[in-house]
Amino acid sequence: MQARSHGAAHPIAPSEAIRRVRSRVGAAVLALAALFAVPAAVAAAPRPAIAVHGEAALPPDFDHFPYADPAAPKGGRITVGVVGSFDSLNPFVFKGNAATGLRFGAEGSNVWESLMERSLDEPFTLYGLLAETIDVSDDRATVTFRLRPEARFSDRTPVTPDDVIFSFRTLSEKGLPYMRANYRDVDEVEAVDARTVRFRLKSGDNRELPLILGLMPILPAHDWKDREFEATRLDPPIGSGPYRVTTVEPGARVVLGRDPDYWAKDLPVRRGLYNADELRWEYFRDRNALLEAFKKGIVDLLPESDPGRWSTAYDFPAVAEGRVVKETFPLDVPRGMTGFALNMRRPLFADVRVREALMRLFDFEWANRNLDWGLYERQVGYFDGSELSAYGRPADERERALLAPFPGAVPSAFLDGSWKMPKTDGSGRDRHALRAAFDLLRAAGWRLDGERLVSADCTPFAFEILTQTREQERLAMGWQRTLAALGIEARLRTVDSAQYELRRKTFDFDATMWIWPGTASPGNEQIHRWSSAAADEEGSFNLPGVKSPAVDAAIAALIAARTRPELVSATRLLDRLLMAEFGVVPLFHLPGQWVAHWTRIEHPRNTPGSGWTLPAWWVRAGGTEEGGKP
């Protein structure tokens, strides 16, 4: 899909968003900075690791990450399946549909790498990769990285400050919106010497920015010379990672081969990781085709999120014979939010009572039992399953002080922790739930006219639910069923991925299902999800259109937090505010991560708290070339 012009949206830099928040809420909020203030840290010598709060958990001489096995065998092939298609190998721009598996995420930094590597066992801590050290000045005005002398791209050219400068300037001007937004807080970047690069920051307010710069993908300037960066490309790119692109079949297959002379294979941040000689991503038309390919051994491992399939579809002979196993990996990070976003830009959803009524009309107990085998857990907030969740917890002094300029922003039940997610009897027609929802709608000016819910001027209550998969459509039908019991007409519209992305980015929907992933260290991404500025920014993840000075203040406070307790307080306040907005109808989350895999593919005993990660897995010595085939 060709993206809309970048000129259609202007991402807000985090420091600019904070300044806008402060100008809106005035001196009262600025005075609250004393609650989050601690003396500035003394300037430290360059160090090999950095944590956004506190210190790195691993010592400077650590041997490997806890979730890696340095004794893991090297060799073999791992094949992963993908539903969809691709037409580009450039994952850094909107244009085109980029292939998966090239950089970052659960599938690893396979082709491109960053200055530092994130530990998946810590909230937000980085250890040196391309850069051997990082130095943040005591006033947080500069961030300096010292490159490793051995750092090389796959064509054996050294990684230099010029490559870092090129990457920064290119991505801040032409990269994905979140990159352009984050990097706008940098005033300038310069080469100090042949191995050192320094970023000068516009403000010290953005405490995450040094780490965000540490995670910036570093591109070889010479590979992009005389090439339009925003154009799609299918020729194998040059990176510094452990793999090279060896085979490309547009829309069907991407194959990565191990670089035998990978420069970082013996670094602690790489030891025991990236074990397969070859990684394949096979593309399939739909989930059913992918599942059949897994059963035949064409695909080696398959993450699953559908309870119905997990309960019934994995009963083929290889499972009974022990050649395929189903595993559940526990998580110790916030579950994020999965739900139906209600577009508050629409007058129909402007009243919070209407939004709360629609939330009450999603019968989770009925849907979980009848559609999902009773395997899901109810979503109750935006940071479930962690210390960041406000659910069932009273607000502390820091939260109440932050709220002081915004009387009435949080109803008392949310403030004292007594508010509970409603439960039904699971019948799909719980009379108490229907009555509670109807009372809210009637208070908002709606009434029943025969079998229809109408406004004072007899306009029917009707809206469209936008979906893009069969699973989403099935959930929407369950919600539609309960809505109809109160005379609400919910029309379902299922579109392909290209149409969905365009409508999502331009907020052209009434209600739609979306997932906001959880993080143990909330920061700048919350601006693009929930700030008032993001509500008007096409392409942002503020799908409901939340516009709240109190939410803006909570986001500013969590970004400015200097200690973990301060971050926890600010995040809990954000959680309360968003729950009280009822801009999202919460759905559910899994009890953990479900992954099925052929036993020729193995993994370490320790799994990071954020979930399984492909780089830590390996092919068992003597394993077959394909899952079910010798």
Asked if the structure places residue 8 within a domain, the reply is: no
Instruction: Give the span between the Cα atoms of 168 and 178, in whole angstroms.
Output: 13
Instruction: Give the span between the Cα atoms of 501 and 123, in whole angstroms.
Output: 30
Q: Are residues 532 and 502 in the same domain?
A: yes
Q: Are residues 503 and 476 in the same domain?
A: yes
Q: Are residues 246 and 224 in the same domain?
A: no
Q: For the chain, how many residues are written?
A: 630
Q: Are residues 434 and 489 in the same domain?
A: yes
User: What residues have CB less than 8 Å from 133, skipping those under 6 apart?
Assistant: 46, 47, 48, 145, 146
Asked if the structure places residue 4 within a domain, the reply is: no
321 token code pair: 């014979």
Q: Are residues 318 and 353 in the same domain?
A: no
Asked if the structure places residue 550 within a domain, the reply is: yes
Q: Residue 427 gets which letter from DSSP?
A: S
Look at residue 105 in the predicted model and tell me its pLDDT. Answer: 61
Q: Are residues 535 and 579 in the same domain?
A: yes
Q: Are residues 599 and 584 in the same domain?
A: no
Overall domain count for the chain: 3
Contact 199, 213 (CB under 8 A): yes
Q: Are residues 260 and 320 in the same domain?
A: yes
162, containing H or E segment: helix 161-174
Could you report the average pLDDT of every consecutive run of 10 residues in the chain (630 residues)?
33 51 40 42 71 93 97 97 91 86 77 96 95 95 97 98 98 90 92 98 88 96 93 93 96 95 97 97 94 97 91 94 95 91 98 98 94 90 95 97 96 97 93 97 97 97 95 94 97 91 94 93 92 93 97 94 93 98 95 94 92 94 54
Contact 466, 500 (CB under 8 A): yes
**Count of beta carbons in the 10 Å neighbourhood of residue 136:** 23
Helix (H, G, I), strand (E, B) or coil at 292: helix
Q: Are residues 134 and 99 in the same domain?
A: no
> Which of 230, 251, 275 corresponds to the end of one domain?
230
In CATH, what number is assigned to the domain containing residue 269? 3.40.190.10
Q: Are strands 462-467 and 489-494 parallel, antiparallel or unpaired?
A: parallel
Asked if the structure places residue 496 within a domain, the reply is: yes
Asked if the structure places residue 30 within a domain, the reply is: no
Q: Are residues 251 and 316 in the same domain?
A: yes
Q: Are residues 136 and 280 in the same domain?
A: no
Q: Which amino acid is at 267?
A: L
Contact 243, 256 (CB under 8 A): yes
Q: Are strands 511-516 and 462-467 parallel, antiparallel or unpaired?
A: parallel
Q: Looking only at Cα atoms, what is the longest distance across the chain?
A: 78
Q: Are residues 174 and 269 in the same domain?
A: no
125 token code pair: 């801590």
Contact 361, 433 (CB under 8 A): yes
**Count of beta carbons in the 10 Å neighbourhood of residue 238:** 18
Q: 608 is in which domain, residue-wise?
A: 68-106+241-331+593-630
